[in-house]
Amino acid sequence: MFDALGVRDDDSSQPFAISLTLDKLIKKAGVTPRSSLMMKYLIGELSKKSHISVDSIRFYEKRGLLQAPQRAPNNYRYYDDQALDQLIFIRHCRELGMSLNEIQALHQLLQHPEQQCNVIDQAIEEHLEHINQKIRQFETFKIQLEQLRERCQSNSTIDHCKIVQTLKEHDH
């Protein structure tokens, strides 16, 4: 006697031949093949795993940074591990101060893995230049704020505050 998997279920120690192929065995066992073993996540689960809000996930989808998920017969949207990886990539880029346009450009480059890595290096170099520009801009802001603070007479009231008066001045 054989069970559903084609394995003998009696106590006999007699050798036996299993005529099932691996595919049939897997199918009978109800096991999903390795290529289909990717995790599936509802948007809330994906949000928790990626540390990105549900609204941002939907936004990235509309923006084309994230592939539209599969829909199940119940019309739920299921995201896979690839979507999780892409969101983590996006989050890391955002943490480095990259704009959505920069991330989208990187995303487009990732669609061509056969290209040389120097195109990625060039994109990062451009981002570094943007950061350096911002640093120079913030240094200018810092000097301007320090100059404003020097005008402060701390014994004055807010309505006579030199900082507020300077900020309200019209450009000439």
Q: What is the CATH number of the domain that holds 47?
A: 1.10.1660.10
pLDDT in tens, the chain (172 residues): 444 433 344 444 444 444 344 444 444 444 444 344 567 999 999 999 999 999 999 999 999 999 989 888 998 989 999 999 999 999 999 999 999 999 999 999 988 989 899 999 999 999 999 999 999 999 999 999 999 888 887 788 888 888 888 888 887 6
Considering the domain architecture, whether residues 65 and 96 belong to the same structural domain is answered as: yes
Domain that holds residue 39: 35-115
Residue ending a domain, among 86, 115, 144, is 115
Considering the domain architecture, whether residues 72 and 51 belong to the same structural domain is answered as: yes
E-strand spans in the chain?
A: 40-41, 70-71, 77-80
12 within some domain = no
126 within some domain = yes
22 within some domain = no
Residue 124 tokens, joined: 């990062």
Work out how many domains the chain is built from and give that number.
Answer: 2
Residues whose CB is less than 8 angstroms from the CB of residue 12 and which lie 6 or more positions away in sequence, other chains included: none
What is the pTM (predicted TM-score) of this model? 0.66
Considering the domain architecture, whether residues 56 and 126 belong to the same structural domain is answered as: no
